């Protein structure tokens, strides 16, 4: 029965995680697929940072402009380097399409010793967004740019090891200087090196801080950025190279100067506000795929947390739950692999809630290594704001295509099937897995949706054409049962389109890229809420 259901889904060009929607016709009949284009517009200002110039540096970057509207858009871009160099450019984005701009100056590095770059973007009208792509040797990562600046920013989990670097990029979109103070929680407790006090972020400018310059050999770093004057947008870039041969790995007994075991690259837009409730539409672990939830409490009261795994196909019932306590100005890590309350081999949604009302910031972390088909590092901050209309950010598949880094097809044993494809690992599905991977040899691009409400939601993925939402070819409306989640396999060939997700009910949405080779990596990204 499961095989037949999945076969019919794949033939339709749409793969669903777990049991899938086709088995719920009664719920589907209660709701109608949306057809009207969302009558909303995004902010016209976007602030991007966390990459190096595309013709130099360890994390070459590109800006991707996505225009979901029916009219061509124009805009302006000011590239800024952290050496103070600036360059103004114009950009045009076709209706329903994307435009990619390599972040580079006429000279190789945008000024002496300054490979890091940011962008201040203005788009003139329309329903559009801007994403930042990073194409490092260690992997790819995509993140929506910030549509607003703030006085506070938080990052949950970083590291500075012999093969791992962490950079915090602060970009100031305003014509007055901003002054910021950074404080840290590490495995040694609270730390605040004086060099990170009174950090100057120039007007219309960028400041990039290498945490390893004063926080050396830290395996856990949580960051608080407080801006005493002005406002900024803050990004975190983490790069982990392969461990040197023979180097002791983190966690080994007595190992001096350890290395992180798995290479990868992640780019994260920080959280501007702690919350008492965080959600993730997709969670899973498996052999070679380690999943953790890291919680950072930036306040002075201990937080008591409840973490619930919401199983699929059970009417939103809990698949497992546990609790943890996070002390003041502290972090706590919860790894699902091997836990008695976990759901091995299936996909689920995750809800983390503070039971004593103390707000926190939380992040999902994935580490993929052999024998898992997914490789590299992925991180995603929790979400707490559902909506009916979402714009999908730039896909890392686009960065791989630009870099010419497409991986060859991969033959996998049945026990190592991607959890993304089927939700439940089943040897009988090995042939379908092989055909799916052959069609998308670099990796898989997934849309994950969670319906927290009491009514089933119908999702349509498509483009806006002459004011109406046209379904993406090869897909169909997807039912997300009340209180449950669904995963939708998107064609990698759609990475050049402006894709809108429209739902009959408010849902949470994320877009996840799972590469099959270390160079293609993982990338977990929030979708952009319209309106």
What distance in Å separates the CA atoms of residue 285 and residue 337, rounded to the nearest whole number? 6
Round to whole Å and give the CA distance between 287 and 428.
18
C-alpha to C-alpha distances, 17 to 20, 305, 416, 513, nearest whole angstrom: 6, 28, 16, 15
Residue in 306, 293, 452 with CA at minimum distance from that of residue 382: 293
Q: Where are the beta strands (DSSP E) in 261-375?
A: 264-269, 277-283, 289-297, 303-311, 318-326, 330-335, 348-354, 361-368
Structure-token pair, residue 353: 């809630």
Residues in contact with 124: Cβ distance below 8 Å, sequence separation at least 6, in sequence order: 44, 73, 74, 75
Place of tokens 């939830």: 293
Q: Which helix (H) or strand (E) holds 419?
A: helix 419-422
Q: How confident is the model at residue 469, as a pLDDT?
A: 80
Query: How confident is the prediction along the chain (531 residues), in pLDDT tens digits per residue?
Result: 322 332 222 223 333 333 332 222 233 333 455 545 454 555 589 999 999 998 878 999 999 999 988 889 999 999 999 989 999 999 999 988 899 999 988 755 445 555 899 999 999 987 889 999 998 988 899 999 999 999 999 999 999 999 999 999 999 999 999 999 999 999 999 999 999 999 999 999 999 999 999 999 999 999 999 999 999 999 999 999 999 998 989 987 767 889 999 999 999 999 999 999 999 999 999 889 999 999 999 999 999 999 999 987 755 566 789 999 999 999 999 999 999 999 887 889 999 999 999 999 999 999 999 888 888 999 999 999 999 999 998 887 766 665 543 333 333 333 333 434 433 333 333 444 444 444 455 788 899 999 999 999 999 998 877 777 888 877 789 999 999 999 988 886 666 678 899 999 999 999 999 988 766 789 999 999 986
* Domain assignment of residue 8, yes or no: yes
Task: Please give the DSSP secondary-structure letter assigned to residue 195.
Answer: G
| CA atoms in the 13 A half-sphere facing the CB of 474 | 12
Taking the alpha carbons of 221, 224, 230, 235 in that order, is the dihedral positive or negative? positive
Between the alpha carbon of residue 349 and those of residues 15, 510, 527, the distances in Å are: 17, 12, 16
Q: Are 14 and 478 in contact (CB under 8 A)?
A: yes
Rounded to whole angstroms, the Cα distance separating 179 from 13 reads 51
Nearest to 51 by CA among 324, 174, 235: 235
- Rounded CA separation 381/296 (Å): 11
Task: Give the C-alpha separation, 363 to 157, whole Å.
Answer: 8
How many CB atoms are closer than 10 A to CB 339?
A: 14
Residue 414's pLDDT is: 35
CA angle (400, 155, 141) in 5-degree steps: 0
The number of residues in the chain equals 531
Tell me the residue range of the domain where 478 lies.
Answer: 2-39+386-529
Q: Does residue 130 belong to any structural domain of this protein? A: no
315: how many CB neighbours lie within 10 A of its CB? 10
Q: Give the count of domains, the chain.
A: 1
Measured between alpha carbons, how far is 222 from 361 in angstroms, rounded to an integer? 10
Indicate whether 464 belongs to any domain.
Answer: yes
Is the link from the previous residue into 371 a cis peptide, with omega within 30 of 0? yes
d(CA 12, CA 40): 30
Helix (H) and strand (E) counts in the chain: 5, 34
Cβ within 8 Å of residue 158, ≥6 positions away:
166, 211, 218, 220, 221, 222, 223, 236, 238
Bridge partner residues of 307 (DSSP) = 322, 352
Residue 14 falls within a domain, yes or no?
Answer: yes
Residues 6+ apart with CB under 8 A from 253: none
CA pair distance 211, 429, nearest whole angstrom? 46
In a domain, 108, yes or no: no
Instruction: Examine residue 524 and state whether it is found in any structural domain, yes or no.
Output: yes
pLDDT at 44: 86
Asked whether residue 182 is assigned to any structural domain, the reply reads no
Report the distance separating Cα 517 and Cα 210, nearest Å.
Answer: 28
Please report whether residue 127 resides in a domain. no
């Amino acid at each position: 029965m499961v095989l037949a259901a999945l076969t019919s889904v794949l033939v339709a060009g749409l793969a669903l995680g777990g049991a899938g929607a086709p088995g719920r016709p009664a719920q589907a009949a209660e709701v109608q697929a949306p057809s009207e284009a969302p009558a909303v517009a995004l902010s016209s200002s976007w602030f991007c940072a966390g990459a190096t110039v595309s013709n130099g540096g360890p994390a070459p970057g590109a800006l991707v402009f996505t225009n979901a509207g029916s009219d061509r858009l124009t805009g302006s871009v000011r590239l800024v380097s952290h050496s103070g160099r600036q360059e103004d450019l114009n950009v045009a984005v076709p209706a329903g399409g994307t435009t990619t701009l390599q972040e580079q100056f006429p000279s190789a590095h945008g000024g002496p010793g300054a490979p890091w770059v940011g962008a201040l973007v203005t788009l003139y009208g329309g329903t559009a967004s801007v994403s930042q792509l990073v194409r490092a040797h260690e992997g790819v990562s995509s993140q929506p740019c910030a549509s607003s600046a703030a006085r506070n920013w938080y990052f949950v989990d970083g590291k500075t090891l012999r093969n791992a670097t962490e950079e915090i990029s602060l970009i100031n979109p305003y014509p007055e200087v901003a002054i910021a103070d950074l404080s840290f929680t590490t495995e040694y407790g609270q730390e605040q090196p004086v060099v990170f006090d009174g950090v100057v972020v120039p007007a219309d400018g960028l400041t990039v801080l290498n945490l390893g310059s004063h926080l050396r050999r830290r395996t856990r770093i949580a960051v608080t950025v407080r801006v005493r004057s002005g406002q900024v947008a803050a990004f975190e870039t983490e790069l982990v190279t392969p461990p040197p041969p023979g180097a002791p790995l983190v966690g080994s007994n007595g190992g001096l100067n350890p290395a992180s075991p798995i290479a990868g690259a992640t780019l994260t837009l920080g959280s501007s506000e702690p919350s008492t409730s965080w959600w993730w539409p997709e969670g899973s672990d498996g052999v070679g795929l380690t999943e953790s939830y890291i919680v950072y409490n930036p306040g002075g009261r201990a937080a008591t947390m409840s973490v619930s795994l919401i199983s699929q196909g059970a009417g939103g019932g809990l698949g497992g739950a546990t609790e943890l306590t996070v002390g003041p100005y502290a972090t706590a890590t919860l790894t699902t692999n091997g836990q008695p309350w976990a759901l091995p081999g299936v996909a689920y949604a995750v809800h983390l809630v503070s039971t004593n009302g103390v707000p926190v910031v939380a992040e999902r972390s994935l580490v993929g290594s052999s024998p898992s088909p997914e490789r590299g590092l992925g991180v995603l901050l929790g979400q707490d704001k559902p909506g009916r209309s979402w714009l999908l950010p730039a896909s890392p598949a686009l960065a791989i295509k630009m870099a010419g880094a497409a991986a060859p097809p991969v033959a996998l044993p049945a026990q190592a099937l991607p959890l993304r494809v089927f939700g439940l690992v089943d040897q009988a599905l090995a042939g379908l897995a092989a055909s799916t991977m052959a069609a998308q040899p670099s990796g898989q691009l997934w849309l994950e949706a969670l319906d927290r409400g009491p009514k089933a939601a119908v999702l349509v993925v498509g483009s806006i054409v002459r004011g109406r939402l046209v379904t993406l070819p090869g897909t169909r409306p997807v039912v997300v049962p009340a209180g449950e989640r669904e995963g939708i396999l998107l064609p990698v060939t759609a990475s050049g389109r402006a894709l809108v997700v429209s739902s009959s009910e408010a849902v949470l949405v994320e877009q996840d890229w799972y590469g099959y080779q270390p160079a293609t990596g993982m990338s977990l990204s929030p979708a952009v809420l319209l309106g």
